[in-house]
Structure 1
């Protein structure tokens, strides 16, 4: 037993002596530093789990446990007291293995440069640099969105070019061509026109869209009365641009005056959290967080909510989340006490709030995808599939199998692999069915799965974790619950713990559902997961049937040669291997056939005569011998 195993055994023995009382536990490393703080309803049960089986631990928890040298605990009168104490201790100690959120919500300002051709930008602090400042503002995200909108509506530059120094130097950027910038860099916009647009942008920032529309409408009508049609058209375009902006904002508007929306997306090693904050029924702030580790969803939401509101002063009356929250009632009570008024936690199932949650989740998936290096669509599809199938972790590495034969003949199987939602063709594998004769798809599938995981065990003995040495996160069989029921006992017999499901097709050969050993899960309403599973099913079917057709062609070719007297399967295979094709065999001369591996002069003669007719070489030699 290693030193680490002995330490783990010792810690488990100590954990088993803890009381069955609520409380907080603190894990320390060898230096005495606190590396993790948690709360428990029953200290003995919770703490002992860390030092038992690692089967349900993710990599982050395994690393934490490996670094624990000793632990201490504090007994509380109730689980609620434990939650409050845990939150306070985490904020004080910042343990490295807890979800830690940086409190970077300082004030933001809008900086306006002095002099001609002014610019505005978002900054974190005011400086004595001659510039003007507007603010402070609480949400830097909101300021950035507002400034970006102001630039697009009033066609102000966002580049770093200086005016008038850079007039005529280089071509305008893309924003000019998509009509989001007037391109003063061309030298065709007067300073007066620029100042007018800039001042209107500042009015928009200070007063909001409604005030700007009112002022711009008055100016437009005045310009039209004065027959200044070009100016009136320019003002009309700005009014229309503000209108389009308001329409886009309605998409993320809430009927609730004040609320926060939370959603998460999990990858193979990290979890992304997204927060939408609404004030005045409008999206006022948006925050994204990426944390290491992949806890069960309910546990992850619970810990994140506790950490998030520990560093935020404002607690809204409504907190909307995208799924179950561990200790939901305790957290609602804690938030109520923190706010001083009632706070409700809501998990919407339909309607406007559900749509907001879905949008929030899509943004979490997009943040996760930027870290993983794949697209937001793929990250979202994998996370949706994880939720749909109730998997403990995101299926980053999926293996799928299909059997192909023709009335039991040329029985083969194909295996395809999808990694991070994309085909990994280097990991595809083909199988010839060896132990099953006739059309027995269940038996064929069992043989393939057995051979695959026998290979896995042999690779593990050699310490090889590539190819067959890697355990998949999910297995999908092209077939219904019968296939799953046939294979599942085999996996249990072999001690392989991998989630197993089937892919069911409708009468038009299109993906319809996911099969369990005891039923089906409809996936049509889960658009991204449905698209991913359909792609996997189509790909494994294409790969398996392609291999089957290849084997049939080889069999047909081989049967041409075996129809020649004296040429059996072994010689036919050797000839094809040597000459590559039957056409090449038919064009070979007698000497080339005789020199081929496994061939004799009589067998070479028979092959030659099969393709070319009788040769006179052999009979002439026999007639001379007979005369003698």
Structure 2
């Protein structure tokens, strides 16, 4: 914690209740953060109060602040302009700093008779044909991918004609996305025609391409080239289908930017959809360490439109924030006329914002190794249970026994919506004999968090605090475990999973009673799978212990074989079957065995043989 915290807070509390810009310095005097405030005293004093409500990024910044200065302005808008200028001048390490490093993209047509279409970020002197440059890499990538599919051009690494007939055609041929020149049955004339059509499509757009293809189809039909006419017809249909797909996304869309964000576990992803001419022509993703969400949103807009020369007339956002009017005024001045900054709540615009936010979640999920579907069900779980944060790391527990014998428990872990089997743990109940599921669950949780306090590494294993604990059971188990968590000062959301008469998860129970889960929701499937998994894991451990002890007890029935010797035999031979098949010499050579005990074990498993042969 910053040793100057109280001194800094005292200085912040003396600030005026006026708009302005504040500048944070570290010990060396370097500027590490610049921000603007509608009311300087209120904004700056928040940094030097309780650190519990700050994100990790903000805490790190505050820990490094040695002093701050401020500049008073006449309005929040003037503060915004000054903030923008100072950030560009000093590039502080804790501000969101965007760089215009996208560069330009090109459509590349490789040299040779069997040319290939691809998109590249750099133009080289390699004899290939380059079309461009284009500012939107998303547009170039999407357009080239569509052209290759529609005109059935190869995208594999095979070389033609060198690789003719050297292997079977790939999946793209079977799903009608490649004409498969690798078979050696495609005429060079037909291939070049498809490549030329693809280039016309990329240069002229879908409507112009359809006109040209239609003329070519009619010409082929007049010349009685019906197979060629049919191929061109299929290409026309594919181009039309792609156009209809775009209309679904961009129907009645204004020329605008749509911006949305998704925050989770210390990371925020901003997604930008750019619409122009009634279609999505570019999209961008930016992922940062998350700080104060409201100032971060404003910072992002400031940074994004600082590096862009063009500002659209309309910008749709997924959230409102305190400085939105100042941002809108700044953007209007940058554009030269009014910019409409809105937060749509219904209609097509709201759907676009929602789609943009889903893509932000997907981008963040992919970075973390999850899918948007898995994040979706975690979002649903968060909303259903009223959690403060997304439950990325979930621990679930179940007890298993048979009439109070071999009392065990299993702990499973779900990370990012998927089982993390390397983190599964088994527990043998040690505190008592007999059957008491409540006491068993309390013991397991107590031992688990004893290990938490002992662990040096707080990022994995027992050293990591879960975001949520789910018990296989109802309010009795929840009440027993809640007492343990309170006693051990562990603050983790706790719920029980309740099954119906068909052994399916019908509800989740906590302090406030049961929360019913509809069987038609993705959350129902997710919780049912988790409850089945923890039950399988616990009962599997229970069966393993019962089997082992059954084997051990059968060995201890042999004269001269106690528990220690039985355990040693099982460890050495691995199974009872191996022990029964061992000869006398092998038994004598086993650890902790004597000649007499080896003979007793041998006779125990070969009694029938001895009675028939009279041996020994």
TM-score normalised by length of structure 2: 0.77
1:275–1:286: 8 Å Cα contact kept in structure 2?
yes
Trace 1:280-299 onto structure 2 (pairs within 5 A).
Answer: 280-291=277-288, 293-295=289-291
Match of 1:577 among 555, 567, 585: 567
1:397 aligns with 2:393: yes
2:532 is aligned to 538
State the alpha-carbon separation in 1 of the partners of residues 568 and 102 from structure 2.
Answer: 73
Displacement after TM superposition at 1:502 (Å): 3.4
State the alpha-carbon separation in 2 of the partners of residues 20 and 9 from structure 1.
Answer: 20
Trace 1:245-264 onto structure 2 (pairs within 5 A).
Answer: 245-264=242-261
CA deviations over 1:107-134 (Å, ceiling 9, x no partner): 6565678997776665678899998876
1:501 is aligned to 495
1:477 aligns with 2:440: no
1:549 is aligned to 543
CA deviations over 1:483-504 (Å, ceiling 9, x no partner): 4454345423322233333334
Displacement after TM superposition at 1:356 (Å): 4.2
State the alpha-carbon separation in 1 of the partners of residues 367 and 223 from structure 2.
Answer: 56
State the alpha-carbon separation in 2 of the partners of residues 429 and 123 from structure 1.
Answer: 49
State the alpha-carbon separation in 2 of the partners of residues 112 and 577 from structure 1.
Answer: 72
Match of 1:61 among 34, 58, 62: 58
1:622 is aligned to none
Match of 1:317 among 314, 317, 322: 314
1:142 is aligned to 139
1:451 is aligned to 447
Trace 1:169-188 onto structure 2 (pairs within 5 A).
Answer: 174=170, 179-182=176-179
1:236 aligns with 2:233: yes
Displacement after TM superposition at 1:399 (Å): 1.8
State the alpha-carbon separation in 2 of the partners of residues 299 and 530 from structure 1.
Answer: 37
Match of 1:47 among 19, 44, 49: 44
1:618 is aligned to none
Displacement after TM superposition at 1:336 (Å): 7.2
1:368 is aligned to 364
2:408–2:427: 8 Å Cα contact kept in structure 1?
yes
Trace 1:101-116 onto structure 2 (pairs within 5 A).
Answer: 101-104=98-101
Paired residues, what number?
596
SS at match of 1:491: helix
CA, structure 1 residues 197+577, in 2 after alignment: closer, same or farther (shift >3 Å)?
closer
Trace 1:16-95 onto structure 2 (pairs within 5 A).
Answer: 16-77=13-74, 79=76, 82-83=79-80, 85-95=82-92
CA, structure 1 residues 451+16, in 2 after alignment: closer, same or farther (shift >3 Å)?
farther
SS at match of 1:252: helix
Trace 1:424-439 onto structure 2 (pairs within 5 A).
Answer: 424-435=420-431
State the alpha-carbon separation in 2 of the partners of residues 521 and 85 from structure 1.
Answer: 51
Displacement after TM superposition at 1:232 (Å): 0.8
CA, structure 1 residues 186+243, in 2 after alignment: closer, same or farther (shift >3 Å)?
same
Displacement after TM superposition at 1:367 (Å): 2.8
1:619 is aligned to none
What is the CA RMSD across the aligned residues, in angstroms? 4.9
CA, structure 1 residues 429+123, in 2 after alignment: closer, same or farther (shift >3 Å)?
closer
1:320–1:348: 8 Å Cα contact kept in structure 2?
no
Residue ranges of structure 1 left out of the alignment (5+ in a row): 614-628
Match of 2:223 among 223, 226, 233: 226
CA deviations over 1:205-240 (Å, ceiling 9, x no partner): 233222322332233223213312122122112112
CA deviations over 1:258-295 (Å, ceiling 9, x no partner): 3433344445453333222223432221112222x234
Trace 1:188-199 onto structure 2 (pairs within 5 A).
Answer: 192-199=189-196
2:322 is aligned to 327
Match of 2:12 among 15, 22, 28: 15
State the alpha-carbon separation in 1 of the partners of residues 419 and 552 from structure 2.
Answer: 33
1:320–1:347: 8 Å Cα contact kept in structure 2?
yes
CA, structure 1 residues 170+67, in 2 after alignment: closer, same or farther (shift >3 Å)?
farther
CA, structure 1 residues 505+359, in 2 after alignment: closer, same or farther (shift >3 Å)?
farther
CA, structure 1 residues 458+151, in 2 after alignment: closer, same or farther (shift >3 Å)?
closer
State the alpha-carbon separation in 2 of the partners of residues 561 and 347 from structure 1.
Answer: 75
Displacement after TM superposition at 1:456 (Å): 1.6
SS at match of 1:144: helix
State the alpha-carbon separation in 2 of the partners of residues 517 and 385 from structure 1.
Answer: 16
Displacement after TM superposition at 1:521 (Å): 5.4
1:166–1:185: 8 Å Cα contact kept in structure 2?
no
SS at match of 1:6: coil
1:621 is aligned to none
2:302–2:327: 8 Å Cα contact kept in structure 1?
no
2:468–2:492: 8 Å Cα contact kept in structure 1?
yes
State the alpha-carbon separation in 2 of the partners of residues 167 and 425 from structure 1.
Answer: 44
Displacement after TM superposition at 1:539 (Å): 1.8
1:266–1:394: 8 Å Cα contact kept in structure 2?
no
Which deviates more from structure 2 when the two are superposed, residues 581-590 or residues 450-459? 581-590
Displacement after TM superposition at 1:417 (Å): 2.0
Displacement after TM superposition at 1:319 (Å): 0.7
Displacement after TM superposition at 1:409 (Å): 5.2
CA, structure 1 residues 289+254, in 2 after alignment: closer, same or farther (shift >3 Å)?
farther
2:612 is aligned to none
Displacement after TM superposition at 1:320 (Å): 4.4
1:418 is aligned to 414
1:626 is aligned to none
1:275 aligns with 2:265: no
State the alpha-carbon separation in 2 of the partners of residues 345 and 526 from structure 1.
Answer: 35
1:617 is aligned to none
CA, structure 1 residues 514+75, in 2 after alignment: closer, same or farther (shift >3 Å)?
farther
1:511 aligns with 2:505: yes
